[in-house]
């Protein structure tokens, strides 16, 4: 985001209750977001200040609260995880539906209904891909702020035929050097034979660009691996051969391949290999799930100690996921911002705190499709021009 000062947020109107503009701003920056929404009614000065897009960005930078965990559930319900005890995960984790739900689009309320896919979350904005049931060429893309319940629709690139979104590879976020939000979509189009399509959208420029990807074998999306954002680039592991990491530079919008130089004896027989990121550590990690031996699962985590030095992988820990922790494993969601491992065990979201010995864990029952970091903000989707 571009730099700005408190002076830019000042107003020329008379002071309120004798408070200076600087003191007023300091007070407003420390208020909860829900209170700020109510305080717009105090005066024209406060309404103008709180509604200023620069204030929203300043408020986001001012906040020191760590990101929450957002989950997309069955029936398009978007919820947040709430820990009953922040230091002991075994005491319980509740899934709390957000006060505002994404239901303002007529297609979701219509007789045919829709499926919502969570593309990503950044700076309080949630990017959703909406697919209309039993209808063709009526999909839509939306940026939505659950705190203010504002949303903005983004027109998709025109495609004919059936489309299938590869949501694991898709991404939405902010590219600092460009001062721009971008959307990265991967999907297959049947017209009439299915073909892979990759498009990148610049929110600032209101422009889609199609990205050319090489053949099926070299495609970074052949295994539907998770996208991992770090240093203004997306990363995808070639989990079929486990020999390459495909890196997509979001600034110049080009691909390159770098060696996935892990020791081949680490996990000679693994069921799943994927990349992730632990936000609090600001580093890329590689996760391995071993094929169960005698009905027991093994999990191993490696971290890249130095970004762009692709031989600097170091093993962090190995966990024996005994039957009482994970009896069955469907897939990996990744990590929460604080480092808790998120697994899909078929019964719900299994959260594991690897910092404990033995690891503590808890299962949130219910169908979960995707998780993402989330921070509350006042940023309006319509102000991102």
Tokens of 246: 């495909």
122 shares a domain with 46:
no
186 shares a domain with 57:
no
Tell me the pLDDT tens digit for each residue of 241-258: 677 888 999 999 999 888
The pLDDT-based confidence of 61 (bands split at 50, 70, 90) is confident
Which range of residues forms the domain containing residue 43? Answer: 6-62
- CATH code at position 338: 2.120.10
Rounded to two decimals, the pTM is: 0.86
Q: What is the pLDDT of residue 107?
A: 43
Tokens of 57: 């960005």
Q: How many CA atoms lie within 13 A of 324 on its CB side?
A: 5
144 shares a domain with 29:
no
Tell me the pLDDT tens digit for each residue of 143-167: 999 988 889 999 998 665 677 888 8
127 shares a domain with 92:
yes
Q: d(Cα 57, Cα 375) in Å, to the nearest integer? A: 12
Within a domain: residue 313?
Answer: yes
Number of domains in the chain: 2
115 shares a domain with 34:
no
Whether the Cβ atoms of residue 340 and residue 352 lie closer than 8 Å to each other: yes
275 shares a domain with 347:
yes
Within a domain: residue 261?
Answer: yes
191 shares a domain with 325:
yes
Within a domain: residue 1?
Answer: no
Q: d(Cα 300, Cα 192) in Å, to the nearest integer? A: 42
52 shares a domain with 176:
no
Strand 150-154, strand 228-230: pairing = unpaired
């Amino acid at each position: 985001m571009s730099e700005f000062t408190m002076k830019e947020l000042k107003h020329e109107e008379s002071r309120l209750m004798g408070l200076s503009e600087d003191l007023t701003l300091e007070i407003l920056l420390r208020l909860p977001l829900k209170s700020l929404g109510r305080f717009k009614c105090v005066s024209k000065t406060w309404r103008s200040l709180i509604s200023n897009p620069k204030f929203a960005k300043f408020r986001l930078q001012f906040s020191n609260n760590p990101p929450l965990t957002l989950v997309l559930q069955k029936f398009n319900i978007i919820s947040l995880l709430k820990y009953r005890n922040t230091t002991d995960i075994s005491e319980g984790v509740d899934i709390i539906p957000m006060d505002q739900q994404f239901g303002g689009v007529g297609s979701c309320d219509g007789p045919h209904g829709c499926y919502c896919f969570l593309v990503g979350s950044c700076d309080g904005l949630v990017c959703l891909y909406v697919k209309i049931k039993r209808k063709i060429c009526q999909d839509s893309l939306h940026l939505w702020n659950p705190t203010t319940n504002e949303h903005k629709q983004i027109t998709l690139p025109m495609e004919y035929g059936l489309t299938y979104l590869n949501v694991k590879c898709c991404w939405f976020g902010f590219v600092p050097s460009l001062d721009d939000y971008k959307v990265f979509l991967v999907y297959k189009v049947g017209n009439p034979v299915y073909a892979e399509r990759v498009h990148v959208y610049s929110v600032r420029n209101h422009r889609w660009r199609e990205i050319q990807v090489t053949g099926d074998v070299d495609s970074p999306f052949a295994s539907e691996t998770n996208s991992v954002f770090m240093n203004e680039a997306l990363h995808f592991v070639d989990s079929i051969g486990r020999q390459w990491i495909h890196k997509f530079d979001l600034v110049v919008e080009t691909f390159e391949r770098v060696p996935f130089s892990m020791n081949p004896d680490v996990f000679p027989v693994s069921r799943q290999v994927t990349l992730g990121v632990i936000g609090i550590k600001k580093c890329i990690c590689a996760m391995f799930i071993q094929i169960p031996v005698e009905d027991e699962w093994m999990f191993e985590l490696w971290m890249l100690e130095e970004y762009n030095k692709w031989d600097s992988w170091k093993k962090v820990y190995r966990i024996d996921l005994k039957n009482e922790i994970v009896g069955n494993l469907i897939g990996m969601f990744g990590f929460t911002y604080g480092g808790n491992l998120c697994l899909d065990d078929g019964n719900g979201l299994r959260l594991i705190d690897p910092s404990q010995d033995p690891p503590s864990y808890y299962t949130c029952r219910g169908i979960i499709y995707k998780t993402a970091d989330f921070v509350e903000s006042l940023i309006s989707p319509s102000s991102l021009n």
